[in-house]
Amino acid sequence: MASSIIQRIGAATSFDTNNNYFHRRSFSGRQSSFVVVRSDGANITTRLKPNGGRTHHLVTNAVATKPHTSAASKPGHEILLFDALREGLEEEMDRDPRVCIMGEDVGHYGGSYKVTKGLAPKYGDLRVLDTPIAENAFTGMGIGAAMTGLRPIIEGMNMGFLLLAFNQISNNCGMLHYTSGGQFKIPVVIRGPGGVGRQLGAEHSQRLESYFQSIPGIQMVACSTPYNAKGLMKAAIRSDNPVILFEHVLLYNLKETIPDEEYVLNLEEAEMVRPGQHVTILTYSRMRYHVMQAAKTLVNKGYDPEVIDIRSLKPFDLHTIGNSVKKTHRVLIVEECMRTGGIGASLTAAINENFHDYLDAPIVCLSSQDVPTPYAGTLEEWTVVQPPQIVAAVEQLCQ
Amino acid sequence: MTIWLAVTRGANYRTKTLISTAFRSLRTSLTTFASGDAREGTSRKPAYMSSGTYYRSSHFGASEARQQVNHFSSDDEEDKSQVLDFPGGPVPYTDEMRFLPGSSEKRVQCYRVLDDEGYPLSSTQFQHVRKEVAVKMYSGMVTLQAMDTVIYEAQRQGRISFYMTSYGEEAVNLGSVAALSDDDIVLPQYREPGVMLWRGFELQQFVDQFFGNKNDIGKGRQMPTHYGSNKHNVLTISAPLATQLPQAVGAAYSLKMDKKDACVVTYFGDGCSSEGDFHASLNFAAVMEVPIVYICRNNGWAISTPVTEQFRIDGIVVKGQAYGIQSIRVDGNDVLAVYNAVRAAREIAIKEQRPILIEALTYRVGHHSTSDDSTKYRPVDEIEHWKTARNPVSIFRKWIQRSGWWSDKEESEFRANIRKQVIHAVQVAEKTEKAPIGNIFSDVYEKLPKNLMEQEKLLKETVKRYPRDFPNAPL
């Protein structure tokens, strides 16, 4: 047990067993894997388990659990995901006067999903700026402001609208730090709701992570729980790189108890949702919940899936993923992107390249079909991967 | 101040346009949020706006809503019941169906200080420039010409791959930047090297950037003439058109937040004004009330597209009105006119925290770039005319020599000297090692990520393994 701890920690960070825990690591190279750190600093041992040292019992709990909250003395507070994002925003705006928000209807209207609610009355109309409708223009505006010292958070009312901002995001946001010879940095956060599920029709059900993943110079993360939403929001704001934070339209009302103390998560880290032995299921955002639902069924059938929410879409946390692959030798990717050119496609390639020797079976990737998302409820539902399909895929993989 | 007032409230403009009640009503509805208080207690005749005024809201709580009222004598009597209460202000009704004209009959006048022979116009009220400023402007223009000549030749000799000259636009370059303070943030398009020159960017630094060698401030990453310098408050140029325009609004927004005594100046060409970002940017700047001076170098050509095929309106100056921005047209080949206009615009922009649009009429004497041969699509005598009769450098030279601040002897000495300097810079830059391979991978992110570290390692190994295929590779 002790040896695995030492192995895991590496040289990077020190653990602060106080309850006021705040960790973050730089983007360069990594030597250790870190689990999502929860509020209680106690019980390091159990938290370091996921990738080694635990061979005996099956974790029968299929749903993501907070490890050993019974040992916690801090109560935390219950919060909905959109509110957790807002909390993260507010804390960062309090901390750094250079942080500002811009987008359509983010001011007194509070944003399309109320993520910025209450911030305009508190910080004023200038810091929480309502812009006219021109995505390329306000994205460009955010970039210009970032180059001259501010830290803007740019909201796309729906991720799909950011396609109009592609020029600024690709040609400038991702590039200007590079082309200026490192003279100007672009610490922007571009965020917004995306994904399928509210019967919003094809144009409002885009998965932009597919299109943006090639752009050099940007980072992409996807949040899926109130806890990681707040932590990733804060990390994204503090990062000096441009970060695109993908939220999902269906997840804004998720409820969870999160710590009262401040915490910031690591942008490049994946989250171990459910440790297991038989198969590695990689997923992110909303599909995490379909996977966990399928996991319940799988557990009943006697399987032990390891579920990882990859969270970091660019770059992939190949360390966590790799360790999992080395343990289970089977990989299933469940994503909402379309088959062609999605995150799953890139992830498949990356795992094949790096961990080919450890695979006992070809990687299976479950994605949405290569179709525009239809409006009708049933049709829309069937364009995304459903739990029975996940169960069937695992069963086939583990034959 | 008086100069721009005279232009914007020019009597010509008001009388010549077809003013109908419909026209006036549209005007009022174009203004931004009207504060109800100002409207109350007015006379029976509704208040109208003149061409040079605007209506600002106290949107950010910082500015007061100001209103300048101009009462036209209307054709028909209108009572208050004939008014539509609409967001933005009351809109008077009319029973006359009249379309607003698409453009006015007369073109917007062009402000100038010196005539073609370099004599100040008799009625001009220009701000006198000091000798140091005038000489620095003139020598900057000559330096720019010298650099263009030598580097263009170097490109033709195959020593660099690409270049863009600024022939014909020296006055816009130097006249504008001379009127700014060093704190003003500049976002150029790509034909404004004069800005960097004025602010102290060395000739050697320029040439290093063209050669992409290891001393290049951009570390070998951007095309020639796409430079930027944090130290000189000039943001790095990005090739796609108009991307700098919304960014300029962002920079101005950041100045507004910091309440700095500075403004943003951004340059763009006539062709660029067709891009969507141009319109959105002007609109944003007006709505956000930020201190920004837009300078349009209307040089008549967008590669091979003349302005007559670029838009159907009298240039760019009239577009400012569509967004509620005060605008002025100046003679872009008259350094003093450009200097004055920018100086005045800057003052308004900072003091009143709002955008100003300046259209400088000039001519692109050279080709669009070294990849272009403009004689293919425009008459040679047109080029010759602007190169000789309307040459901004010669016009200003006449004035500055007549003022006793320059002489023929100084001219020939300076030109010979500066040409030598540029050539020397080229020779030095050529011999300097190219940017190292590591520059391919650094600065993509704040810190070098693992995947790029791997890719760099792989590339360096490949280069080492096959030295003959990668000669002189700067590891």
pLDDT at A74: 64
Is B123 within 8 Å of chain A by CB? Answer: no
Mean pLDDT of chain B: 85
For residue A243, the cross-strand partners are A189, A219
Whether A189 and A223 have beta carbons less than 8 Å apart is answered as: no
Residue B421 has pLDDT above 70, yes or no: yes
Q: Which residue of B222, B232, B440, B444 to mutate against A (max A Cβ within 10 Å)?
A: B444
Closest by Cβ to B277, choosing from A26, A100, A140: A140
**Distance in angstroms (rounded) separating the CA atoms of residues A192 and A392:** 33
Question: Is A175 in contact with B251 (Cβ distance < 8 A)?
Answer: no
Which residue in B218, B256, B442 is closest to A179 by CB distance?
A: B218
Split at pLDDT 50, 70, 90, the class of B427 is very high
The gap from C-alpha A243 to its chain's centroid, in whole angstroms, comes to 11
What is the pLDDT, as a whole number, of residue B81? Answer: 65
Q: Please tell me the distance in Å from B275's CA to the nearest CA on chain A.
A: 11
pLDDT grade for B56, boundaries at 50, 70 and 90 = very low
CA B317 – CA A117 distance, rounded (Å): 40
Which residues in chain B touch residue A27, judged by CB atoms under 8 angstroms apart?
A: 445-447, 449
B226 — contact with chain A (CB < 8 Å)?
Answer: yes
Residue A165 C-alpha, separation from nearest chain B C-alpha, in angstroms:
10
Judge whether B81 is closer than 8 Å to chain A, CB to CB: no
Predicted local distance difference test score (pLDDT) of residue B60: 52
Nearest by CB to A144, which of B226, B247, B257? B247
Provide the pLDDT for residue B122.
79
The catalytic position among A92, A104, A135, A209 is A135
**Contacts with A217 from chain B: Cβ below 8 Å:** 444-445
Best residue in B196, B216, B237, B247 for a mutation probing chain A (most A CBs within 10 Å):
B247
Which residues on chain A are in Cβ contact (under 8 Å) with B187?
144
Q: Give how far B441 is from chain A: nearest CA, Å.
A: 9
Search chain B and give the residue with CA nearest A215: B444
Residue B268, classed as helix, strand or coil, is: strand
Question: Is the dihedral angle over the CA atoms B403, B407, B411, B417 positive or is it negative?
Answer: negative
Reply yes or no on whether the pLDDT at B470 is more than 90: no
Could you give the ipTM of this predicted complex?
Answer: 0.74
Closest of B197, B176, B155 to residue B421, by C-alpha: B197
Q: What CA–CA distances, in Å, run from B357 to A263, B282, B296? A: 47, 9, 8
**CA atoms of A74 and B436, how far apart (whole Å):** 53
Q: What is the pLDDT of residue B342?
A: 97
Q: What is the pLDDT of residue A200?
A: 87
Task: State mean pLDDT over A105-118.
Answer: 91
Q: What's the Cα-to-Cα distance from A349 to each of A269, A362, A365, B12, rounded to whole Å?
A: 19, 11, 11, 69
Of B200, B193, B196, nearest in space to B151 by CA: B193
Choose, out of A25, A164, A168, A178, the residue to mutate when testing the contact with B (most B CBs < 10 Å): A178
Strand-pairing partners, residue A221, are: A245, A312
* Those residues with Cβ within 8 angstroms of residue B177's Cβ, 6 or more apart along the chain or in another chain: B186, B192, B194, B195, B198, B199
Task: Write out pLDDT tens, residues B296-322.
Answer: 999 999 999 999 999 999 999 999 999
Report the pLDDT value the prediction gives residue A266, as an integer from 0 to 100: 96
Q: Which residues of A touch B283 (CB under 8 A)?
A: 132, 134, 137
CB proximity B87 to A under 8 Å: no
Find the CB nearest B236 among A26, A132, A180: A180
Which residues in chain B touch residue A146, judged by CB atoms under 8 angstroms apart? Answer: 250
pLDDT in tens, A294-309: 999 999 999 999 999 9
Give mean pLDDT, residues B312-337.
96
- Cβ-Cβ pairs closer than 8 A, A with B, add up to 172
Length reported for chain B: 475
pLDDT of residue B29: 40
User: In the predicted model, is pLDDT for residue A181 greater than 80?
Assistant: yes
Q: How far away is chain A from the Cα of B227, in angstroms, using its nearest Cα?
A: 7
Question: Across residues A177-189, what is the average pLDDT?
Answer: 95
| pLDDT in the model for residue B62 | 39
Closest CA to A66 of A203, A263, A346: A263
* Cβ <8 Å between B253 and A129: yes
Mark yes or no for CB contact A181/B240 under 8 Å: no
CB A143 within 8 A of CB A165: no
Chain B: closest CA distance from residue A302 (Å): 38
- Residue B94's nearest CA partner among B3, B32, B28 is B28
Segment among A14-23, A329-338, B85-94, B266-275 with least mean pLDDT:
A14-23
**Closest CB to B249 among A26, A144, A171:** A144
pLDDT of B57 above 60? no
Cβ-Cβ contacts under 8 Å, A241 against chain B: 445-446
Judge whether residue A262 has pLDDT over 70.
Answer: yes
Q: Name which of A14-23, A172-181, A188-197, A281-290 the model is least confident about.
A: A14-23
Of A136, A145, A315, the CB nearest to B251: A145
Catalytic annotation, residues of B = 364, 368, 377
Strands A128-130 and A77-80, bridge-based pairing? unpaired
In chain A, the residue whose alpha carbon lies closest to the alpha carbon of B184 is A148
Q: Which residues of B289-312 are buried (b: 16+ CB within 10 A; e: fewer)?
A: bbbbbbbbbbbbbbeeeebeebee
The span from the CA of A336 to the CA of A355, in Å, is 24
pLDDT for B473 equals 80
Of B228, B230, B276, the CB nearest to A136: B276
Q: What percent of chain A has pLDDT over 70?
A: 81
Give this prediction's pTM. 0.79
Residues in chain B within 8 Å Cβ distance of A317? none
Q: Which of A232, A226, A230 is nearest to A253 (CA)?
A: A226
Q: Does the pLDDT value for residue A161 go beyond 70? A: yes
CA distance A140 to chain B (A): 5
Give the distance from residue B229's alpha carbon to the nearest chain A alpha carbon, in angstroms.
7
Nearest chain A alpha carbon to B289 = A126
Question: In B, which residues are within 8 Å of A106 by CB distance?
Answer: none
- Cβ of B245 within 8 Å of Cβ of A140? The answer is yes
Summarised one tens digit per residue, pLDDT across range B217-242 is 999 999 999 999 999 999 999 999 99
Q: A166 CA to chain B: closest CA distance, Å?
A: 11
Q: Which residues, numbered 198 to 217 in chain B, qualify as contacts with chain A under a Cβ-Cβ cut-off of 8 Å?
A: 216-217
pLDDT at B82: 85
The answer to whether residue B281 neighbours chain A at the CB level (below 8 Å) is yes
Based on the residue annotation, tell me whether A68 is a catalytic residue of this protein.
no
Provide the 8-state DSSP code for A356: G
Query: Which of A29, A144, A175 has its CB closest to that of B450?
Result: A29
